[in-house]
Amino acid sequence: MEYIKIKDLTFTYSGSARKALDNVSIDIEKGDFAVVCGSSGSGKSTLLKMFKKQLIPKGELIGEITIEGEEIKHMSDHDATRKIGFVMQNPDTQIVTDKVWHELAFGLENLGVAPDVIRLRVSEVSQFFGITTWYHKSTSELSGGQKQLLNLASIMAMNPEVLLLDEPTSQLDPIASIEFLESIKRINNELGVTIIMSSHNLEDVYGMSNKVVVVEDGACQLIGSPIEVASGMSDMQTHPIYDGLPTSVRLYHGMEIGGVCPLNVKEAREYLSLNIQNKNSILMEKDQAVPKVNDNVIEISGCYFRYNRNGHDIIKGAELRVERGEITAILGGNGVGKSTLLKVIAGVAKPYAGKVIIEGKNIKSYKGNSLYRGLIGMLPQDPTLLFRRNTVREEILSMKSNMEESTIVTDEELVKLLNLEKILDLHPYDISGGEAQKVAFAKVLKSNPSIVLLDEPTKGLDPLAKRVLADLLLSLKSQGKTIIIVSHDIEFCSMYADRCSMFFDGGIVADGNAREFFSGNSYYTTASARIAKGFFEGVVTTNQLIAISRHCL
Amino acid sequence: MIKRKSKIISFIALVALLSVLLFGCTFTSVDDHYSVQLEGDFEVSFLISCEKVLTTEGAFEGLPNTLKPLIPKDGYFIPKVDVLCVEGDSVTDLLRKICANKNISLTITGGNYIASIGGLSEKMYANNLGGWMYKVNGVFPNKSASMYTLVEGDIVEWLYTCEPGDLGELEW
Amino acid sequence: MSRLERYHPIIVFLYFLMCIITVMFTMHPVIIILSFVISIALSFQLEGCRKVGKSLLYIIPIMIIIALTNPLFVHDGGTELFFMNGNAVTLEALIYGVMISLKLVSIIYWFRAYNYIMTSDKVIYLFGKVSPRLSLLLTMSLRFVPLYARKFREADDASRALGAYATSNIKDKLMAKLHVFAIVFSYSIESAVTTSDSMSARGYGMRRRTNYHNFKWSMSDTIMFLFVALGCVTLATIMILGYSGFDYYPYVDDINIGVASIVMYVSYFCLASIGMIMEIKEAVSWSILRSKI
């Protein structure tokens, strides 16, 4: 008998006409590592919530989910809490207590476990997850990756048998993301916990799983092993989540020669070496790189910045030059200060030494509103930090317009450009992450900035939303605007940025056009580049990889 | 830098405020204070008594140790004397002059409330009761001592009360 | 980490409670001066000379102001220094003022040392003895205050980058700040929904919670408890018998050196300095151990 059986599950949110889940039936074996993928709004989060009695939203539920024959809705409170664990997307909002050790003990305290037993379990779990070094820290001091790991450990302390994770890595940077996934893999391998995880970035997790479920419009489109689903997706290249599939899978599809589908970088390299005729490294033709005009719209020199007098310098002697009309990406690890650099450019953070020159003038010489009307606009990392009104419409209308001289003059045109018509009357907190970002973008664009700054714009976006964002940025670029992105999303930057810089140790350490930047790096580069290493030179994006592989068959 | 500036400004403002306040005050040395002459146009009779402290049970024991030797054995800080008094003096004005003249310490709070005479202050009995009251010509006037203007021949008595009613002030 | 921090929270709480209450309810100069010296010495020991020294620099002007305020308003006292507006400014009032300021400052430093040692987890533990729910409330407050402060700064920066503060009009700037506050408020309410989901998913509210803590009662805690209890009982008895009273008016009383009083002074000294004594003992045993290596 299957361990978990989802049978004819249909769910409609109360007040909604359309079905969030439509007759979903899935069987999951004990110890499976299942990945549920689908675009935003496909129903994957709803599906996961159905497992947890306490999290089932208000609405009409038909069908059942059984675990070892016992229906979820008939489970005792104790079992429903302990046996099934749930990790949510946002690392910050899940944490309740002020200290790490207390958070670990939280679930056990709720279950009424005796303090001695709690002590044992908490120490066990800390050691398993490597938390012992930061056991006594305050939860506010932790990095995003540590917080999410803490959430995981706190739930694992209760010894669940099934672990559900709703896009757990979408808010994390790539390194933290991989570490988190490896912890999940360990839990699955060493403890035999059944994992059901939803995600739209499958690059790293696809190869770890043993069952993949593709969900779209509330219905289950494909179920099978990773290889089965990969084959099934070969003619679905326009599917919203296709770009979320691992590079190796897309390479396999693109080459169209069959064989065993590679699921990760290593297998992809083996696949290439098996199938490529010319085994010597082949120089990829350099397409005409746009020559540097040296028309610098922004210049930063010798900047030093720190948040308070007794802290250390976040920015140490940074130098940066940004060309007009280009998309410049600033990359770097988590928490190093890239966002701070952006704030310096935006005039929000004031360096105590050095110069920031915008359009030839020192930033300090811009009086009153002149810096923010028609010159600089910044999209913050968390777009909801700009919202305080009741509808999207009000949010957009409330922003003073400066668009008389731009190509988009009226609010209506702006709404049309960003495709916001359908959500105009919704509350800003009731829309998806991608939509929220667009609404925030609308507000920023209303001041008609010629320099657009974006802080981690791809965080939490599904592949389709990333595509939409990319199209928007390209259209802004064609209007002559200068765009600066701070991001840790290497894939996105490799595809759309003209120039890339790496921020490290308080300053810019590398700078070059995107192609040179990525193909020159060994570690800090795209999956395609890593697959192509030793075979082709100058390959950075997936499309380039597929094109040249086909060419060399 | 801005912080330091505002600190300096507020400091200077404080000093300025203090000096203004101080300028408004009169200062006298101890000797000057006690060298007051009693002169005037007419005579009144005056006494200050803390007899009740000696007669009420437990009152004397409850006093601070350093005060006990200062209480006159007969209960009179000033036994009945005739003193000269200026036209228009109130009871309080006369009290001030006499105490200054006879080297008796006097504390007046709020401009007209007699808080202590000779070191014996209000609320010293059982830490909560007790205070100074005055009689003129045998009755307790119903007004503040600074509002009672003296005339020739008045007999002023300042009495310390320990318990409510012990001076007969509640009898009509 | 000092020795005091490693004691069980209940002991630490009792210790500080006794020290502070004793000095609060007396005006006896010996007690006050002892309290002043010991509380500052303890702070020095816990936080280091520099930090505490700096704070003293700020406190001294305040002490002077308090000490001088008393003679300006209180005119009781036999030794008159001069007269102001007809009222005597006396030496006794000045001395009393000095004593008040010493008392106040010593209480401040006791609280400072208390704050340093009683970290949030110890406070939460003590709360939890009363009600686990209450202690959870406390830990959640400690979690959310820095979180929302940080969100406020982020939202403020985001608004700034939209030009919200780029006006010279002060009223507009204030309104902008208020708007940021509204933003953080909405954010906090929304995220509270996720947090409460996270809590109920982990079983909150199912049944009565237990309270997890890291604190074990050990032998040294028992010894300390007996010591503190002994000191308290002695002190309490003597003080109730009236030996803690002290008169300043009209003249300053003599300091009693009778047996009972001496016992009182010594017990307070021992009780108050137990913290420092423990620390010194520890430092000594460390150096002995180290010299043996």
List pLDDT tens digits, range C184-201: 999 999 888 889 999 999
Helix and strand numbers (H, E) in chain B are 4, 8
Domains, in order of start, for chain A: 4-236 (3.40.50.300), 326-336+369-534 (3.40.50.300)
Distance, in Å, from the CA atom of C226 to the CA atom of A8, rounded to the nearest integer, reads: 68
Distance, in Å, from the CA atom of B131 to the CA atom of B135, rounded to the nearest integer, reads: 13
Confidence (pLDDT) at A130: 92
Q: Is the pLDDT of residue C71 over 80?
A: yes
Confidence of residue B171 (pLDDT cuts 50, 70, 90): low
From residue B46, alpha-carbon distances to B38, B96, B156 in Å are 13, 12, 5
Closest CB to B29: pick one of C82, C87, C252: C82
- A145 burial via Cβ count (<10 Å: 0-12, 13-18, 19+): buried
Distance, in Å, from the CA atom of A306 to the CA atom of A309, rounded to the nearest integer, reads: 7
Distance, in Å, from the CA atom of C205 to the CA atom of C196, rounded to the nearest integer, reads: 11
Contact criterion met (CB below 8 Å) for C121 and C135: no
Flag whether residue B6 sits within 8 Å of chain C, measured between CB atoms: no
Contact criterion met (CB below 8 Å) for A342 and A484: yes
Å between C144 CA and nearest CA of chain A:
8
Where is mean pLDDT largest: A253-262, B128-137, C179-188? Answer: C179-188
Contact criterion met (CB < 8 Å) for C209 and A109:
yes
Residue A54 phi/psi, 5° resolution? -75, -15
Q: B71-107, pLDDT tens digit by residue?
A: 888 888 888 888 888 888 888 888 888 888 888 888 8
Mutate to test the interface with A, among C162, C185, C206 (most CBs of A within 10 A): C162
- The closest of A238, A240, A270, A239 to A252, measured between CA atoms, is A270
- The closest of A25, A27, A21 to A8, measured between CA atoms, is A25
Edge-to-edge, what's the strand order for the sheet holding B120-121?
Answer: B106-109, B113-117, B120-121
- The closest of A414, A419, A389 to A404, measured between CA atoms, is A414
- The closest of C77, C4, C13, C89 to C41, measured between CA atoms, is C4
Instruction: Show residues of chain C in contact with A135, CB under 8 Å.
Output: none
Instruction: Show residues of chain C in contact with A349, CB under 8 Å.
Output: 157
- Please provide the DSSP assignment of C89-138 as one string: EEHHHHHHHHHHHHHHHHHHHHHHHHHHHS-HHHHHHHHHHH-HHHHHHH
Ramachandran sector of residue A533 (left: φ over 0; alpha: ψ -120 to 50; beta: rest) = beta
The stretch A6-13 carries a mean pLDDT of 92
Mutate to test the interface with C, among B29, B30, B36 (most CBs of C within 10 A): B30
Mutate to test the interface with C, among B14, B28, B104, B113 (most CBs of C within 10 A): B28
Flag whether residue B75 sits within 8 Å of chain C, measured between CB atoms: no
Q: What is the mean pLDDT of chain C?
A: 87
Contact criterion met (CB < 8 Å) for C206 and A77:
yes
Where is mean pLDDT largest: A301-315, A449-463, B124-138? Answer: A449-463
Contact criterion met (CB < 8 Å) for C201 and A158:
no
The stretch C79-100 carries a mean pLDDT of 86
Confidence (pLDDT) at A50: 93
Distance, in Å, from the CA atom of B12 to the CA atom of B6, rounded to the nearest integer, reads: 10
Give residue B138's Cα distance to chain centre: 20
Contact criterion met (CB < 8 Å) for B70 and C250:
yes
Neighbours of chain C (3+ CB pairs under 8 A): A, B
Confidence (pLDDT) at A46: 92
Contact criterion met (CB below 8 Å) for A201 and A35: no
Closest CB to C202: pick one of A92, A110, A444: A110
Contact criterion met (CB below 8 Å) for A265 and A530: yes
Contact criterion met (CB below 8 Å) for A177 and A202: no
Confidence (pLDDT) at A335: 77
Å between A329 CA and nearest CA of chain C:
19
Confidence (pLDDT) at A9: 93
Q: CA A204, A208, A211 angle in degrees (round to 5)?
A: 115
Confidence (pLDDT) at B1: 47
Neighbours of chain B (3+ CB pairs under 8 A): C
Å between C257 CA and nearest CA of chain B:
15
Q: Is the pLDDT of residue C247 over 90?
A: no
Token couple for C49? 């000379």
ipTM of the complex: 0.84
Residue A506 phi/psi, 5° resolution? 85, 0
Confidence (pLDDT) at B3: 62
Q: Is the pLDDT of residue C102 over 90?
A: yes
Token couple for C273? 């300095």
Contact criterion met (CB below 8 Å) for C39 and C109: yes
The stretch C147-176 carries a mean pLDDT of 88
Distance, in Å, from the CA atom of A449 to the CA atom of A479, rounded to the nearest integer, reads: 11
Cis peptide before A174 (omega within 30 of 0): no
Distance, in Å, from the CA atom of C27 to the CA atom of C142, rounded to the nearest integer, reads: 37
Name the 3-class secondary structure at B108.
strand
Contact criterion met (CB below 8 Å) for A30 and A191: no
Q: Which domain holds residue B92?
A: 30-161
Contact criterion met (CB < 8 Å) for C76 and B107:
yes
Q: A113-150, pLDDT tens digit by residue?
A: 988 899 999 999 999 999 999 998 989 889 989 999 99
Contact criterion met (CB below 8 Å) for B106 and B78: no
Whether A contacts B, i.e. 3 or more CB pairs less than 8 A apart, is no
Q: A387-414 burial by CB neighbour count: b if 16+ within 10 A, else e?
A: bbbeebbebbeebebbbeebebeebeeb
Confidence (pLDDT) at A1: 64
Confidence (pLDDT) at A379: 94
Name the 3-class secondary structure at B133.
strand
**Domains identified in chain B, total number:** 1
Confidence of residue B170 (pLDDT cuts 50, 70, 90): low
Whether C contacts B, i.e. 3 or more CB pairs less than 8 A apart, is yes
Confidence (pLDDT) at C1: 58
User: Does B156 fall in a domain?
Assistant: yes
The stretch C86-108 carries a mean pLDDT of 90
- C268 burial via Cβ count (<10 Å: 0-12, 13-18, 19+): buried
Contact criterion met (CB < 8 Å) for B108 and C87:
yes
Residue A53 phi/psi, 5° resolution? -50, -40
Instruction: Show residues of chain B in contact with C250, CB under 8 Å.
Output: 64, 66-67, 70, 105, 119
Instruction: Show residues of chain C in contact with B25, CB under 8 Å.
Output: 84-85
- C180 burial via Cβ count (<10 Å: 0-12, 13-18, 19+): buried
Confidence (pLDDT) at A281: 64
Token couple for C58? 């700020």
Give residue C48's Cα distance to chain centre: 17
The domain spanning residue B36 has which CATH number?
A: 2.170.130.30
Flag whether residue C154 sits within 8 Å of chain B, measured between CB atoms: no
Contact criterion met (CB < 8 Å) for C166 and A378:
no
The stretch C270-275 carries a mean pLDDT of 87
The Cβ of residue A509 has, within 10 Å, a number of other Cβ atoms equal to 12
Q: Is the pLDDT of residue A156 over 80?
A: yes
Confidence (pLDDT) at A287: 61
Instruction: Show residues of chain B in contact with C88, CB under 8 Å.
Output: 33, 105, 107
Q: What is the mean pLDDT of chain A?
A: 89
Confidence of residue A367 (pLDDT cuts 50, 70, 90): confident
Q: Is the pLDDT of residue C103 over 80?
A: yes
Distance, in Å, from the CA atom of A414 to the CA atom of A408, rounded to the nearest integer, reads: 6
